[in-house]
Amino acid sequence: MRVLMTITPGTGHTYPVVPLTWALQLAGHEVLVVSSGPGLALGEAGARTVDVAPGLSLDQMVGKLAQHHPEVAGRLLQGVSGVPYMEVVGGAVASALRLQPDMVDAIIRTAEEWRPDVVVHSPLLTPGIVAAAKLGVPAVQHGFGFVNPSAETMRELHADLFEQHGVELPGVRATIDITPPSVVPAQAGAWSMGYVPYNGSGPLPKPLYDLLNSTPEVPRIAVSLGSGPMPGEAAVIMERLLAMAPKMKAEFVVTLPRVDLEPFGPLPENVRAFDWVPYGALASRCSAVIHHAGPGTALGAMVHGLPQVVPAFKGLGRPDVAQAIADRGVGRVVEPDEIGPELLESVIADEAIRTAAAEVRAEIKAMPTPADITARLEELVAR
């Protein structure tokens, strides 16, 4: 097969797709990835890529959206009560794509030139769906966890793009869902696929290697605030962490790719901070995770059966992810100023949370693999 992947240019949308690109290529299929910015990290992971918008990232798309449609961006970043997040994010992405006509045209043009047998697309990237419709090939949506807007929703919210190209939704469609069904029930007919952590490439600095190659004598707690737009409350989390760390017999590892820690002063002895850490490797050596309710971070914690502490941040689907974590019982959702030694110690010691986390870990291990999904794609194309 020739498989075209159209991927939203954000790290959180890109990394979950890597395992399927591996499985497809190991099975002898040809993969071409169409994206830009962070989406080109798939090239570092071994796939061929085409840059359809040099220099463009998801953050820049959101910035331009805020400039031209501040009310839409505000709903996306801060949330709005009474409106489903699917509708908020779908409308925001459709508006953002209208501001990037060259990228949209390049995605569809590349598909027409390359003539794939199937298009695998990010949930929100409507040009991939339109390209599949124009070529008459199946369109397969690859979710990034927890949030999976339907193609029908995106068709409605971005109707002008479909009308511009004179197409309707492709006749053959499928959805890959990497969220454990006990955490978020899958859509009817969706293909479940177990989450396989991938956190980027590159050499490990010696201090980081030594850390990841060690098992601490006290609980090690990972603190991750993600790769996307930083929650406004992030400073509160850091202030709470630096205040409580000296009071705990624990080790904290903070990953902050875009936060300047200098204003916070010297770090306590039991706090280590890094710009980047391969989260999967770190989680395997931790007792718990404090995080921003990012889908990839939450799933990474679930893979390792870790209790999760999630501050109640707003916007970008964070409340939906946090609610799913709380409902499944694998962690607690708290206000940022509630984070302290007593809370962390109680979460780590909570038998119900540890049991639920172990159940979800086993569930992920039992889910279909990327190789299984590759076989289903082969069957879909062969119809």
The pLDDT of residue 259:
65
**Residues 105, 127: Cα–Cα separation, whole Å:** 8
**Residues 83, 155: Cα–Cα separation, whole Å:** 18
Cα distances from 205 to residues 13, 202, 210, 211, 258, in angstroms, run 26, 9, 9, 10, 18
The pLDDT of residue 82:
66
With respect to CATH, is domain 206-365 assigned 3.40.50.970?
no
The pLDDT of residue 229:
53
Evaluate whether 32 touches 114 at the Cβ level (below 8 Å).
yes
**Residues 50, 110: Cα–Cα separation, whole Å:** 8
**Residues 335, 176: Cα–Cα separation, whole Å:** 33
DSSP string, 214-229: ---SS-EEEEE--SSS
How confident is the prediction along the chain (383 residues), in pLDDT tens digits per residue? 999 999 999 888 899 999 999 999 999 999 999 999 989 999 989 999 999 999 888 888 888 988 998 888 877 877 766 667 777 888 888 888 999 999 999 999 999 999 999 999 999 899 999 999 999 999 999 999 888 888 888 898 899 999 999 999 999 999 999 999 999 998 888 999 999 999 888 888 888 889 888 888 899 999 987 765 556 667 778 888 888 899 899 999 988 766 667 777 888 999 988 887 888 888 888 999 999 888 999 999 999 999 999 988 877 778 889 999 999 999 999 988 888 899 999 999 999 999 999 999 999 999 999 999 999 999 999 98
Dihedral in degrees, nearest 10, Cα atoms 289, 316, 337, 240: 50
DSSP string, 265-308: -SPPTTEEEES---HHHHHTT-SEEEE---HHHHHHHHHTT--E
The pLDDT of residue 367:
97
CATH assignment, 2-194+368-382 = 3.40.50.2000
Q: What sign has the CA pseudo-torsion 158, 159, 160, 161? A: positive
The pLDDT of residue 40:
92
The pLDDT of residue 230:
59
The pLDDT of residue 232:
65
CATH 3.40.50.2000: which residues of the chain?
Answer: 2-194+368-382, 206-365
